[in-house]
Amino acid sequence: MREYTGVTVSEGLVMGPVRRIDRGVSGLGRLIHDRSKERALFDAAVVLAKDELRSLMEQADGEERDILRFQLVMLDDQALLTEIGNYIAAGAGSAAATERAGQIFARRIRDLPDEYLCQRGADVLDACSRVVEILDGKPRQKLVLDQPMILAAESILPSDIISIDRGMVLGIVTSKGSAQSHAAIVARTMGIPALIQLGEEFLSHCDGHQAVLDAREGRLILDPDTALQKEVLLKREAMARKKARLAGLREKPCVTLDGTRLFLQANCSEPGGIEQAVAEGAEGIGLLRTEFLLMKGSIPDEEEQYYFYRSCLAAAQGRPVTVRTFDVGADKLVEGLMLPEKNPALGLRGVRFCLDRTDLFQDQLCALLRASTQGPMEIMFPMVGGVLDFRLAMDEVEKAKENLRMRGQPFDEDLKFGCMIEVPSAVICAPELAQAGAAFFSIGTNDLIQYTHAVDRMDSRLDRYYKADSLAIQRMIAMTVKAAKEAGIPVCVCGRAAANPQTAPLYAKLGVNILSMASQSLLDIKEVLLNTDLQEVVSRV
Ligand code: PEP
Ligand code: MG
Cα angle value 442/447/451 (rounded, 5°): 120
Half-sphere exposure of 106 (CA within 13 A, CB side): 20
Residue with the smallest CA separation from ligand 1 atom 6 is 444
Q: Is 447 in the pocket of ligand 1 (CB under 6 A)?
A: yes
The answer to whether 272 and 285 are in contact (CB under 8 A) is no
Q: Is 83 in the pocket of ligand 1 (CB under 6 A)?
A: no
Identify the H or E element spanning 179: none
| CA atoms of 267 and 287, how far apart (whole Å) | 5
Q: Ligand 2 center to residue 383 CA distance, Å?
A: 7
- pLDDT at 26 (0 to 100): 47
For the question of residue 209 being annotated catalytic, the response is: no
Q: Work out which ligand 1 atom sits closest to the CA atom of 291.
A: 9
Helices 35-59, 121-135: crossing angle, 10 deg rounding: 120
- pLDDT at 160 (0 to 100): 66
* Catalytic site residue from 128, 206, 429, 494: 494
Q: Ligand 2 center to residue 120 CA distance, Å?
A: 26
Q: Is 330 in the pocket of ligand 1 (CB under 6 A)?
A: no
For the question of residue 182 being annotated catalytic, the response is: yes
| CA atoms of 541 and 394, how far apart (whole Å) | 33
Residue with the smallest CA separation from ligand 1 atom 8 is 446
Q: Work out which ligand 1 atom sits closest to the CA atom of 442.
A: 5
Class of the domain covering 2-21+143-226: alpha beta
Task: Name the CATH architecture for the domain at 35-135.
Answer: Orthogonal Bundle (1.10)
7-10 and 194-196 as β-strands: parallel, antiparallel, unpaired? antiparallel
| CA atoms of 419 and 492, how far apart (whole Å) | 10
Q: Which ligand ends up closest to the CA of 446? A: 1
Distances (CA, A) of 19 to 2, 147, 174, 210, 375: 17, 10, 11, 10, 46
Q: Ligand 2 center to residue 402 CA distance, Å?
A: 30
* Phi and psi angles of residue 18, each rounded to the nearest 5 degrees, phi first: -100, 140
2-5 and 7-10 as β-strands: parallel, antiparallel, unpaired? unpaired
* Catalytic site residue from 128, 182, 206, 254: 182
Residue 127, helix vs strand vs coil: helix
Distances (CA, A) of 481 to 352, 488, 539: 25, 10, 14
Q: Work out which ligand 1 atom sits closest to the CA atom of 495.
A: 3
Residues 6+ apart with CB under 8 A from 357: 337
Q: Ligand 1 center to residue 365 CA distance, Å?
A: 20
| CA atoms of 225 and 222, how far apart (whole Å) | 9
The answer to whether 12 and 64 are in contact (CB under 8 A) is no
**Which pLDDT tens digits describe the chain residue by residue (541 residues)?**
889 998 887 888 999 999 988 655 444 456 677 888 888 889 888 988 888 888 888 888 777 888 888 888 889 888 899 989 988 888 888 888 998 889 888 888 877 766 666 677 888 888 998 898 888 776 555 567 788 999 998 877 666 666 667 778 899 999 887 655 656 666 766 778 999 888 889 999 899 999 999 988 889 999 999 999 999 999 999 988 988 999 999 999 999 999 999 999 999 888 878 988 999 999 999 999 998 788 766 789 999 899 899 989 999 999 999 999 999 888 777 777 888 888 989 999 999 999 999 999 999 999 999 999 999 999 999 999 999 999 999 999 999 999 999 999 999 999 999 999 999 999 999 999 999 999 999 999 999 999 999 998 877 678 889 999 999 999 999 999 999 999 999 999 999 899 999 999 999 999 999 999 988 889 999 999 999 999 999 999 9
Residue with the smallest CA separation from ligand 1 atom 4 is 444
Q: Is 286 in the pocket of ligand 1 (CB under 6 A)?
A: no
Q: Is 291 in the pocket of ligand 1 (CB under 6 A)?
A: no
Closest by Cα among 380, 386, 214, 375 to 309: 375
Class of the domain covering 254-536: alpha beta
Closest by Cα among 165, 135, 162 to 149: 165
Residue with the smallest CA separation from ligand 1 atom 1 is 444
Distances (CA, A) of 51 to 43, 45, 46, 58, 79: 13, 10, 9, 11, 21
- pLDDT at 25 (0 to 100): 45
Distances (CA, A) of 513 to 439, 441, 477, 509: 14, 10, 12, 10
Q: Does the pTM of the predicted model rise above 0.85?
A: no
Identify the H or E element spanning 17: strand 13-20
| Domain residue spans of the chain | 2-21+143-226, 35-135, 254-536
